[in-house]
Structure 1
Amino acid sequence: MLVAESADAAATAALRRLVRGAGQQVVLVVDRLRETELMEAVECGVAAILWRREATPERLGRAVLAAARGEGDLPADLQGRLIAQVGRLQRSVQGMPGQAPAGLSERESDVLRLVAEGWDTGEIAARLSYSERTVKNVLHGLTTRLQLRNRAHAVAHAVREGYI
């Protein structure tokens, strides 16, 4: 767990050391977070982000458990901001010649698109008429193949590469 005022350069460097160096699932607790810092934290592989003012023992426990399961956990307002960023990036990539999504199967793209919208495994499975095991296998295969840390990292990678 990393507690910081914001995800500034020093906090981002610490995140990278924790996630990449030690291979840990990290929960970030912050007072404030700019949009650029949000995407940077997700790209670092942060599993969960909490506002410090909402970081009760119960809420921290839920975030840590979600991180341990490889799931993301973001406050609703951050999910909305991340989805807006994803949309802007997707529209900008789609407008570029020769930037057609490649490298992900249609199934992987569909699952990641729903993960980016904040759906959990059961909801994704129901929406796509897959079993929960299939959704988990798709995500596991994708994160393993692309050497990604978790769902949030997979979404950030997919957005950055123009897959979704």
Structure 2
Amino acid sequence: MTCPQASAPAPAPEYTGRWPAPAGRPARVSVAVYAPDPVLYVGIVQQLRQRPEIDLVDDAGADTAQVSLVTVDTVDDETTALLNRLRHNPGTRTGLVVGTFESGDALQRAIDSGVAAVLRRAEADQDRLLRLVLAIANGEGMLPGDLLAKLLSHVGSLQRSTLDPRAASLSTLTSREAEMLRLVSEGLDTAEIARKTAYSERTVKNVLHEVITRLHLRNRAHAVGHALRNGLI
């Protein structure tokens, strides 16, 4: 009686990324793409869809994706809310493709909201997007050198402000905060500021509330007075 011939083992799937696939992780990385602008969404999806390393998931499977890729122009309140929601999903890590950061504070908020890696939209070609996704899936971080310098500078300014809270300087207000306070000083109300800056009324209220809370002030008038006394606007 002869033993049946053992079938030859199936060849291992080819992995064409820049790093070998970690043990226990499938070669294809599942990715969910988030973008408020349909044009941004389509652009990112089309680039990633061409890569055999990437498995794009639809809305129904977004919560199970290994990588959540958020693509925006700037980090506003809506983006921060989305990043915070994704941070509480234990099965995914988040990357950010962003047009610009208005300030070190915006970059700090993104990092605090669980972003593991950042790529500028202007640099988001197919190879860099793939590198970003694979780095996130492998538990690594990625941040352009100049953004790292900006983040460190912002953290340093926060530390100095904590040591001497009265030492107000230009770094205590972002450009958006300063602009909104300037408009308040000119007598504009929330709706008028929203039209002038192209932000929603909710964003205007949130920004001004953040300034008042962070600087331990009483109201908008107090915030304007503080900013004028210290040369912030």
TM-score w.r.t. length of structure 2: 0.38
Partner Cα separation in structure 1 for residue 115 and residue 152 of structure 2? 16
Q: 1:17-28, aligned counterparts within 5 Å?
A: 17-21=85-89, 23-28=91-96
Give the greater-gyration-radius structure (CA): 2
Other-structure match for 1:90: 159
State the Cα distance separating 1:5 from its structure 2 match.
Answer: 1.0
Q: Which residue of 2 aligns with 1:79?
A: 148
Whole-Å separation in 2 of the counterparts to 1:28 and 1:40: 12
Give the ranges of 4+ consecutive aligned residues of structure 1 lying more than 2 Å apart after TM superposition: 89-96
Instruction: Specify the code of the residue in structure 1 equivalent to 2:154.
Output: Q
Within 1, Cα distance between the matches of 2:131 and 2:109? 23
Residues 11-90 of structure 1: matches in 2 within 5 Å? Answer: 11-21=79-89, 23-35=91-103, 36-90=105-159
Larger helix proportion of the pair: 1
Aligned AA (1:83)? L
Deviation for aligned residue 1:69: 2.5
Equivalent AA in structure 2 for residue 60 of structure 1: L
Q: How many residue pairs get matched?
A: 96
Question: 1:76 is matched by which residue type in structure 2?
Answer: G
**Unpaired runs of 5+ in structure 2?**
1-68, 166-233
Instruction: Report the aligned-residue RMSD.
Output: 1.8
In structure 1, give the amino acid aligned to 2:110. A
Q: Which residue of 2 aligns with 1:4?
A: 72
CA distance in structure 1 between the aligned counterparts of 2:160 and 2:112, rounded to whole angstroms:
19
AA paired with 1:40?
R
Write the distance in 1 (CA, Å) between the matches of 2:128 and 2:141: 14
Measured after TM superposition, the shift of residue 93 of structure 1 is 3.8
The alpha carbon displacement at 1:89 in A equals 2.4
Looking at structure 2, the residues matched to 40 and 19 of structure 1 have their Cα atoms a distance apart, in angstroms, of 12
Counterpart residue identity of residue 82, structure 2: A
Give the partner amino acid of 1:2.
V
Which structure ranks higher in relative contact order (CA pairs < 8 Å, sequence separation ≥ 6)? Answer: 1
- The gaps in structure 1 that reach 5 residues or longer are 97-164
Amino acid at match of 1:64: V
* Counterpart mapping for 1:93-108 below 5 A: 93-94=162-163
Q: Give the structure with the higher percent strand.
A: 2
When structure 1 is superposed on structure 2, of 26-35 and 85-94 the one drifting more is 85-94
Letter in 2 for 1:92: S
CA distance in 2 between counterparts of 1:47 and 1:65 reads 12
Q: Which amino acid aligns with 1:10?
A: E
Q: TM-score, normalised by structure 1?
A: 0.53
Quote the offset at 1:4 in angstroms. Answer: 0.7
- Give the drift of 1:23: 4.2
Measured after TM superposition, the shift of residue 94 of structure 1 is 4.7
